[in-house]
Structure 1
Amino acid sequence: MPMNDTLQMISLVDLSIAFIPVVIALAFLYLWSLNVKQASYALSRMLIQLLFIGYALSYIFYSDNVWLITSILLAMVSISCWIALRTLPEYRLVLFKQGFIAILCGGGFTLLVISQGALSLKPWYQAQVIIPLAGMIFATAMNSISLSAERIFSELDNKTPYPIARKQALNAATIPVINSLFAVGLVSLPGMMTGQILSGISPLIAVRYQIIVMCMIFASAILSAVIFLLLSEKTIKKIIKKKHSTQV
């Protein structure tokens, strides 16, 4: 059977059908006396946020403005860094610079190699390509830094020597991305690959793009975590030393 050239347009009526299982799921939460208000609020936010970003991206994708795209990428780095350090609220400002540089360098280097090397993107600031790629890369770097930061403080609080604590922190940061490498193609079909297949692209082509995506996710996760742990070593040691001295 030949593959479809275009993906079917989803009407508002079709979109509303997707909420039928959602309503049933909410009903079970209500019947079992769980937090249906929180779930409803989360769903409402999801709907509003996605509709907003849909309109925003429609404007951004047609802007063809290098300064706008650059500003958006830097904003993405800043926001991802701030979110990454949310598990350490008291040290957010202290470690923000190291986190920002780690995501910018680790994620930015990966984005540069993928966009200019593997994809040969011309010009480099094509928003419809560079922003989705940057989103995947920076989100991965964000999660990696969050896991490594939380783990290294936990290890150092238990008086683990710093080299061992750093090793354990990096190991913790790699677990999700390595699990995804094991699972891809066997347990899950990632979103990008699924979207391409649904849009009518050959699975053989979609697989190539997904390999690129998995490579950039793996690299950005580890590089960003390594850079963060190296840059923040002195700061983290000072924080732990001060923390332990006040506990004595």
Structure 2
Amino acid sequence: MADVIPLHRLAFALVPVFMVLVLMFRWSLGAGSALVGLARMILQLLLVGYLLGYVFTTETPWIVLAIMMVMLLAASWIALRSIKQDRARNFPFAVLSVAVGGGITLLMMTQAVLGLDPWYLPRVFIPLAGMTFSGCMNAVSLAAERYYTEVGRGQLHHEARVHAMKAAFIPITNMLFAVGIVSIPGMMTGQVLAGVSPLIAARYQVMVMCMMFSSAGLAAAMFLWLIGRAESSQMQTHPIVTKEGP
């Protein structure tokens, strides 16, 4: 088992963070937003640490499902930060996209691949749900930002959709190329540090990478499809009328 990190040693992790914050402040890169994000990260992780300590011992599936619902709604709302002017209108689309894209792959991995018993085993189900929903969140965020950028440039829906899907796939595709060569992913690293055989950890990481790739792709595609349907419906309800000359 890996050693517990003492708090006074954990504080050293903030040294390079402070260096980056100084750089952002000097270059006017929005250090305030980054500082708020870091503070939220620390607070949220401390809170979730206490919460999961209780949840992992529960045998009630409703608690697990309630936590997943909170994660789903939060991921969907955060995904639309880049399109604040249409955030409320697109929120139901984001929720449905993350739920479908993340839900299909999560159920496949937990039930067909891992065969969890019980099916909602909290210490496995919740961390995998977090990975899946965060991947969907990033994919939807990139797809939404690029789609509305392209539409703003005068691109038609199908052209903007192609550019948006390409943008959504950039992070996960880079991960696929880099995994095992440039980086050892988080889940595999954690298992190796905990004393699990690297070969066994590699199998779990393959599952995770497949889960991340498929959930991101499905969520982004679903979101763009829903946007397309909404725009088509709006055009049919309010058709563009052109003036004819005399």
Common fold: TM-score over 0.5: yes
**How many Å apart are 1:212 and its aligned residue?**
0.6
Residue by residue over 1:113-158, the C-alpha shift from the partner in whole angstroms, topping out at 9 and shown as x without a partner, is 0000111111121111111101110011111111111111111222
Q: Indicate whether 1:221 and 2:216 are aligned.
A: yes
- Between the aligned partners of 1:194 and 1:70, the Cα distance in structure 2 is 28
Q: Which residue of 1 aligns with 2:226?
A: 231
Kept after mapping to 1: 8 A contact 2:97/2:222: yes
Decide whether aligned partners of structure 1 residues 103 and 41 sit closer, same or farther in structure 2, where only a CA change above 3 A counts: closer
Q: CA deviation at 1:49?
A: 2.1
SS across alignment from 1:224: helix
Distance in 2 (CA, whole Å) between partners of 1:229 and 1:147 is 11
Indicate whether 1:106 and 2:96 are aligned. no
1:184 alignment partner in structure 2 = 179
Instruction: Work out which of the residue numbers 69, 74, 91 in structure 2 matches 1:74.
Output: 69
8 Å CA contact 2:25–2:31 kept in 1: the answer is no
1:7-86 aligned at under 5 Å gives the runs 7-19=2-14, 22=17, 25=19, 29=23, 41-86=36-81
CA distance in 1, matches of 2:235, 2:83: 13
1:94 is displaced (CA, Å) by: 1.3
Query: Shift in Å at residue 22 of structure 1?
Result: 5.0
Shift of 1:239: 7.0
Amino acid aligned to 2:155 = T
Q: For residues 19 and 222 of structure 1, what CA distance do their matches in structure 2 show? A: 34
Q: Which residue of 2 aligns with 1:3?
A: none
Q: 1-side partners of 2:100 and 2:24: how far apart?
A: 46
Task: Judge conservation of contact 1:156–1:240 (CA < 8 Å) in 2.
Answer: no
One-letter amino acid matched to 2:142 = L
- 1:115 paired with 2:115, answer no
- Give the alignment partner of residue 201 of structure 1, picking from 196, 209, 231: 196
Question: CA contact under 8 A between 1:7 and 1:199: conserved in structure 2?
Answer: yes
Match of 2:207 in 1: 212
Give the 3-state SS of the residue equivalent to 1:10 in structure 2: coil
Distance in 1 between residues matched to 2:236 and 2:102, nearest whole Å: 31
* Shift in alpha-carbon separation, 1:20–1:141, aligned structure 2, 3 A: closer
**Counterpart residue number, 1:165:** 160
**What is the distance in 2 between the residues matched to 1:155 and 1:29?**
32
Aligned residues: 240
- Does the CA-based 8 Å contact 1:95-1:235 persist in structure 2? no
SS in 1 for 2:82: coil
Query: Which digits, 9 at most, give the CA deviation of each residue in 1:3-43, with x for residues without a partner?
Result: xxx222333344345445556x3796599687776665544
The alignment-based identity, stated in percent, is 43
Gaps of 5+ in 2: 241-246
Which of 139, 143, 150 pairs up with 2:145? 150
Residue 183 of structure 2 aligns with an amino acid whose one-letter code is S
What is the RMSD computed on CA atoms of the aligned residues? 2.8
Give 1:132's aligned residue. Answer: 127
TM value normalised by structure 1:
0.85
Relative to structure 1, the CA distance from residue 166 to residue 27 in structure 2 (aligned partners, 3 Å threshold; closer, same or farther) is closer
The answer to whether the 8 Å contact 2:78/2:137 transfers is: yes
Letter in 1 for 2:40: R
TM-score when normalising by structure 2:
0.86
For residues 26 and 190 of structure 1, what CA distance do their matches in structure 2 show? 23
* Cα deviations by residue, 1:45-100 (Å, 9 ceiling, x for unpaired): 33322211111111111122111111111111111111111211121221122211
Q: Please state how far the C-alpha of 1:229 moved relative to its aligned partner.
A: 1.3
